[in-house]
Chain A
Amino acid sequence: MSTREEILKQLRQNARETYDMPQLDHLKPISYADPIAEFIQKTTTTAGAKVVELKEGEQLNDVIQSIANALPSCGGGGAPIIASNLPGVEAQINPDTVAEAQELMKVDVGVIEGHIGVAENACIWIPQTMKEKAICFASEQLIIVLRRDAIVSNMHEAYERIAASKKYFQQYKFGTFISGPSKTADIESALVYGAQAARGVTVLLRSSIDNLR
């Protein structure tokens, strides 16, 4: 008998009592009257990120370039190296066309798009809509563009939306929730931002009506 069959057989033999899957519909998860305000609050406090709201008439690319130029530790005085595959965003590196993921390790600012924002914990859902997902992690600084109407109250709502997305399961092999910059407290429990991945995150909220395309 193969190991696989051996394990499955023993599991079937040893499961004496069986239990039904519980109904989860009775769970009344926390829900906010103003999820956007809660999302901004959580993003700028516990998650340790910044929020910039795109105003009417502003062009997405202009705002991104000005945020990127003002970010700390970018480019050593020169222009920052920006990576993005978002249409209309000026970038020197495109994660879809780089030969090797290593190239994304020199990126100062990665610009990516979030698909869902979660108010309870500042998580932003980012499916792998690019060839090399290293842009989401290796960039020194991250700008995540998010539509205001993509913000939900809690993780249950977020997972419900993802589970319902056929496109996600057909096209993408990876998706991640990101809540603020990479952090650690492994040295004497002192909180430090910028462990191995992005040292800073700016969430750029744009309105439901497209400023961009």
Chain B
Amino acid sequence: MVTRHDQTFFGVRQKRDRMSQALPEWEDLREAASLIKKHTVSHLADYLEQFEQNAVRNGVHVHWAKDAEEYNRIVKEILTSHGVKKVVKSKSMLTEECHLNEHLEQEGIEVVETDLGERILQMMKLAPSHIVMPALHVHREEIGDTFRKLIPDFDEIAKGYTAVSGSTTDKNDPTFLTFVARMHLRRQFAEADAGMTGANFGIAETGDVVVCTNEGNADMSTSIPKLHIVSMGIEKLIPNYKAMGVFQRLLARCGTGQETTVYTSHFRGPRPGGEMHIVLVDNGRSAILGNNEHWQTLKCMRCGACMNTCPVYRRSAGYSYTYFIPGPIGVNLGMLRDPHQYYDNVSACTLCCSCENVCPVKVDLSTQIYRWRQQLESLGHANTSKKMMSQAMSYLFNHPAVYTGVLRLSPMANWIPAPLMNLKLNPWAYGHQMMKFPPKSFHQLWKEKKL
């Protein structure tokens, strides 16, 4: 499992490398993206006003939400006032952040995730383990079993597959299961009363919302139902089309190692006879801007490159983190959300700094994790035994006489019976055999000129 996970995501990282090496201007693009985001984020109030003005002129309803609660309430009100019973939804980490689905389901509104990975997870009642490829940790057998159990017209769809593509001997073949999901989801699009999308980018100068997908599910969700609700974090804004060129070229290359996503859709207004709403969500983002050491996390465009390259993420997978966004960016966003709840994630980093080197917008991810670690003491979350060890070592290394004395006595530890030494009290013995101290130390051997 770990090996497969590691290999899958390192494969994506390698595809990203090939993309970056194919473009001579790669580093200039990253620098431009970083500077554009720095500029936009530091002028965000002005750009939000401009964006709102243009969106309203295009016939869009714009709403503002300061936190998850207000956001959920606004969306619920839009849906209930339109008598919506079923909503089809493309992937959005923001709705995950605000727990929108649970909230709507409590109100009796059926929410159907339409990204294949998200739909699988929704049916299995699991959380995403990656922000771009959320269900890669699930095996095809589990997916097949879930579909057979939960898709009511599974057998009928399977017959249709035989008619189109011939029979398949593997009942969990990904092509077959994707076909089943296709037919199942296309029925949902036709039946839904509203479509919801996130936003990869908002363009201030024109009021566009840009959504990028490979499956076309955001487009299906918004082409058939007449009501479209966009959920957008306020940091998603960029100034204009010129800037959009930079980000469009980076997003898929960094995220999945493709030159582009299949669909890059610009929504600027409602469908004929329809309605379009944009909910601008703060939920802590404006406060992050005031944080001198961590405000640059607002540049992030959620491509997932930092987790694909992270050796800790690749070997431990998404669920080993306590925040819903894993990997380097998740460690930082979790700390900004609530350091007392999510401080344990800062250990999930080797400080190899690979994430900083692949980030398309140059967020200083590992530097920020290092800073958080320095703050653990003042946050009251420093590990007590590590703290004691550090204090003891500090005393030892600052007092040479004590150090030499202890060193001379250390071989005596070899005489302590093993059961006493390999206690839980001795953290070294957890998973290790206690080492043997040599009779003479390096210092002693050096002085006796035996080295």
Chain A residues with CB under 8 Å of chain B are 2-4, 6-22, 24, 26-30, 42, 46-47, 72-73, 76, 101-102, 105, 120-123, 131-134, 136-138, 154-156, 158-160, 162-163, 169, 172-190, 192, 194-198
Contacts and interface: CB of A to CB of B under 8 A. Distances in A.
Nearest to B31: A22
B156 interface: no
B270 A173 contact: yes
B45 A122 contact: no
Interface centre among A47, A101, A187 (most CB of B within 10 A): A187
27 contacts: A11-B48, A15-B43, A15-B44, A18-B39, A21-B35, A28-B28, A30-B24, A30-B25, A42-B259, A72-B164, A101-B271, A105-B190, A123-B264, A133-B219, A137-B216, A160-B241, A163-B240, A176-B263, A176-B264, A179-B260, A185-B256, A187-B140, A195-B178, A195-B214, A196-B189, A197-B219, A198-B216
B259 A176 contact: no
Contact of A24 (B32, B139, B270): B32
The list of the 7 closest CB pairs from A to B, nearest first, reads A197-B216, A14-B290, A173-B269, A195-B215, A121-B259, A186-B117, A121-B260
Nearest to B187: A105
Contacts of A196: 114, 116, 182, 185-186, 189, 215-217, 220
Given A13-B290, A16-B290, A6 B120 contact: no
Nearest to A48: B262
Contact of A11 (B45, B181, B182): B45
A3 B357 CA distance: 37
B83 interface: no
Contact of B268 (A10, A76, A173, A194): A173
Contact of A21 (B23, B239, B261): B239
A182 B248 contact: no
Contact of A159 (B135, B224, B244, B270): B244
Interface of B: 8, 11, 23-25, 28-29, 31-32, 35-36, 38-39, 41-45, 48-49, 58-59, 64-66, 70, 114-117, 120, 133-136, 139-140, 143, 163-164, 174-175, 177-179, 181-182, 185-186, 189-190, 206, 214-217, 219-220, 223-224, 234, 239-246, 248-249, 256, 258-272, 280, 282, 286-287, 289-290, 292, 295
Nearest to A96: B272
A132 B295 CA distance: 42
Contacts of B290: 10, 13-14, 16
A188 B120 contact: no
Contacts of B48: 7-8, 11
A17 B41 CA distance: 10
A174 to B, nearest CB: 6
Nearest to A133: B223
Contact of A195 (B44, B59, B217): B217
B264 A188 contact: no
